[in-house]
Amino acid sequence: MKLFSLMIIILIVFILGIIIIKKVKIPFISSGYQKKFFFLYCFLLIVSAVTLNLIPQKNFIKTETTNEGLVTKSNRDNISNLISKGNFQDSKIFVQKDNWSFNYSDKKLKIINSNNMKVVVDRKNVDDGKIEVLNYMINTTYQGINITNMTSPSKVQLTKDELVLVEDENYKVNIAQFNLDFTTSQFLKNASTQNNQSSLGFFIDTIMYIKIPKSLEGIESNDIIEMIKH
């Protein structure tokens, strides 16, 4: 049906083209000008092809070839277990994106979580008068691209006794993926128009790991928070 629709569109475009060519009077362009224009076009194409091959490849987004350290169906269950224990550093599954530190001496703290982020609170063994916030992301691929570092940045603000956690909702990333033309991919065994690694699934989460001083006891939140039990 898709092929049928495509062929109908091509046929309609072709018939319309023929009608336009016959009906519309195309202004006369001298053959000399036509030649100059065509050869200039060819020259530009050659320059473009040469320039393209001179561009270094190192800065481009690389696609993942292995599943190592990435979220898969099998290790997805293990993630909740690691989060509840606060084991972020030991696993390749988590990537630290940012961290904040605030001096805090009050005994009560209210956590405002605006974007339903996963909040894990860990009480330190010392009373150092500091609240440390560490922002972790789950190492995630999407269509074979590691998008962990492309996700929206988080912000943390401390105002009086309120710790506000915000994620930029307007943040957007557009990525261009070039596919080989159908006439070329037909003859290449490894050519694919879509990366098959989408089977890894989309599983990205922002985790806010908050370390609070030993003496801070009254924790409130507008959302669910998970306390780490030692």
Partner 1 sequence: MSLIETNVFKISKIQYAFKLKANFGIFFILAIVQMASIFFSTGTVSSISTNHITIFGISGNIVIIFTIIWGISNAFILTGKNCTDMDFTFISNRLSSNLSNVAILLTAALVGSITTSLSVTVLRLFYYFKVGSKFIIGENFNIPPKTLLLSIISLLFYLILIMSISYLFGILLLLNPVLKIILPIVTVGLLVLQGLSPISNDFFNKIITFYTLENSLLLFGVKALLTAIIFFSGAVILSNRMGVRK
Interaction site with partner 1 (CB under 8 A):
1, 3-5, 7-8, 10-11, 13-15, 17-18, 21, 29, 31, 34-35, 37-38, 41-42, 44-46, 48-49, 51-53, 55, 57, 59-63, 142-143, 145, 147, 150-152, 171-184, 186-189, 193-194, 202, 204
For partner 1, the closer of residues 35 and 107 by Cβ is 35
For partner 1, the closer of residues 175 and 227 by Cβ is 175
Burial of 117 (0-12, 13-18, 19+ CB in 10 A): middle
Which residues are CB-contacts of 191 (< 8 A; sequence separation ≥ 6)? 180, 184, 185
Q: To the nearest whole angstrom, how small is the minimum distance from the Cβ of residue 95 to partner 1?
A: 16
At 114, the amino acid letter reads: S
For partner 1, the closer of residues 20 and 227 by Cβ is 20
- Distance separating alpha carbons of residues 101 and 134, to the nearest angstrom: 9
Q: To the nearest whole angstrom, how small is the minimum distance from the Cβ of residue 131 to partner 1?
A: 27
For partner 1, the closer of residues 27 and 89 by Cβ is 27
Q: To the nearest whole angstrom, how small is the minimum distance from the Cβ of residue 163 to partner 1?
A: 24
Q: To the nearest whole angstrom, how small is the minimum distance from the Cβ of residue 184 to partner 1?
A: 4
For partner 1, the closer of residues 104 and 203 by Cβ is 203
Q: Is the dihedral of CA 94, 97, 103, 108 positive or negative?
A: negative
For partner 1, the closer of residues 8 and 227 by Cβ is 8
Q: How many CA atoms lie within 13 A of 138 on its CB side?
A: 24
Q: Report CA 200 to chain centroid distance, whole Å.
A: 14
Q: To the nearest whole angstrom, how small is the minimum distance from the Cβ of residue 6 to partner 1?
A: 9
- Mapped onto helix, strand or coil, the DSSP state of residue 112 is strand
Q: To the nearest whole angstrom, how small is the minimum distance from the Cβ of residue 28 to partner 1?
A: 11
- Distance separating alpha carbons of residues 124 and 128, to the nearest angstrom: 9
Residue 182 DSSP label: H
- Distance separating alpha carbons of residues 27 and 149, to the nearest angstrom: 54
